[in-house]
Amino acid sequence: MIGILIISHENLGDSFIRCASHVMGGVPQQIMHLNVSIQDNPDMLVSKAQELVNQLNCGNGVLVLNDICGATPCNVASRLIKPGVVECLAGINLPMLVRALTYRNELLSTVVEKALNGGKEGVMHIHLESLQCNIKK
């Protein structure tokens, strides 16, 4: 099973895990989060994150998700990357996380692809016209 680490600003990672638990019908295994605050030392965060990656990796790899590219959580996550062992995606959303959880028994490369596609496909513009069949007059 692929481990999942969420590195995000403040309590966002915890919120994602709670929401995914609701959607999935239970608390997923091998998922953790690391909260980043403005007071945190990035080098200390990398050490903490590496410890979490070590705990999460049962031999199949770890997917690290973070909230926004270029910010401290992403910078920390990028220092953990080991191609094929620890991979990183930025811009986490709930569809991305649910997709990663759904496919986490596949190869890490598959989980990365499925999570990325889930994140992209989960963002859409809802048009009023597309809802007309569901609106009762």
For 84-108, the pLDDT digits (tens) are 999 999 999 999 999 999 999 999 9
Cα separation, 16 vs 95, in Å, equals 10
Task: Report the mean per-residue pLDDT for the chain.
Answer: 94
Q: Range of 66's domain? A: 3-134
3-state helix vs strand vs coil in the chain, percent to 5: 45, 20, 35
Query: How confident is residue 130, by pLDDT bands cut at 50, 70 and 90?
Result: low
Cα separation, 107 vs 49, in Å, equals 22
| 8 Å CB contact between 4 and 100 | yes
CATH of the domain at 82: 3.40.50.510
Q: Does the pLDDT value for residue 15 go beyond 60?
A: yes
pTM over 0.95: no
Domain count, the chain: 1
Q: What is the pLDDT of residues 29-40, one digit of tens each?
A: 999 999 999 999
